[in-house]
């Protein structure tokens, strides 16, 4: 059963407009409003609400706003101190239909591959205790409903190439990796 009680809201961000949706049980998704727009990130753009059908956003969305505000705060920011932790309730709504394997990949990635770090698809498969599941890990990354919070942009090819990024293309992925490597 898929939860249909989510409240979407649109936010301005340095990487373009993001739609964040959640309900009282947790987050439903985070996505770019228009993935076809070429992104030239602008850190002068503050993360802020643009549009919402309600003034009272669910707690899960409010936590996500706090996390993104810290993420895009610039040098010295530590989004991990405001982490939208996948294992806590109500971080993500259980009614959004994520498979058990994908969920394990997302929680492992978010907890093990921190800000400024990267891993390969095969390394992530090993972290989830399924070393032969590199392609399944790739499928999880392609279908990640939680843009940036579940940091699929940190998963790169074994060869060191950055690979694709369904959240906005390889140029955005490259920018996110460079942004996170600053210290």
Coil, strand or helix: which one is 50? strand
DSSP 75: T
Residues 119/155, Cβ–Cβ less than 8 Å? yes
* Cis bond upstream, residue 55 (ω within 30): no
Among 23, 64, 93, 152, the active-site one is 152
DSSP 8-state assignment for residue 39: P
Q: What is the 3-state secondary structure (H, E, C) of 119-139?
A: EEHHHHHHHCCCCCCHHHHHH
The CB-side HSE value for 10 (13 A sphere, CA atoms) comes to 8
152 is catalytic: yes
- 23 strand-pairing partners: 26
Take residue 39 and report the two structure tokens written for it: 């992104």
Which residue's structure tokens are 């806590």? Answer: 88
User: Mind telling me the catalytic residues?
Assistant: 152
């Amino acid at each position: 059963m898929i939860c249909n009680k989510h409240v979407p809201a649109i936010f301005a961000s340095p990487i373009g407009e993001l739609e964040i949706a959640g309900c009282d049980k947790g987050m439903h998704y985070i996505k770019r409003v228009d993935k076809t727009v070429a992104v030239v990130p602008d850190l002068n753009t503050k993360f802020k609400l643009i549009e919402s059908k309600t003034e009272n956003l669910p707690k899960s969305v409010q936590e996500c706003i706090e996390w993104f505000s810290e993420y895009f705060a610039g040098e010295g920011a530590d989004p991990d101190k405001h982490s939208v932790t996948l294992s806590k309730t109500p971080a993500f709504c259980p009614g959004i239909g994520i498979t058990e394997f994908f969920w394990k990949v997302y929680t492992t990635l978010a907890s093990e591959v921190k800000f400024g770090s990267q891993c390969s698809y095969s390394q992530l498969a090993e972290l989830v205790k399924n070393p032969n599941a590199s392609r399944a890990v790739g499928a999880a990354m392609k279908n990640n409903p939680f843009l940036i919070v579940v940091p699929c942009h940190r998963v790169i090819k074994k060869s060191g190439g950055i690979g694709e990024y369904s959240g906005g293309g390889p140029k955005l992925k490259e920018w996110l990796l460079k942004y996170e490597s600053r210290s």
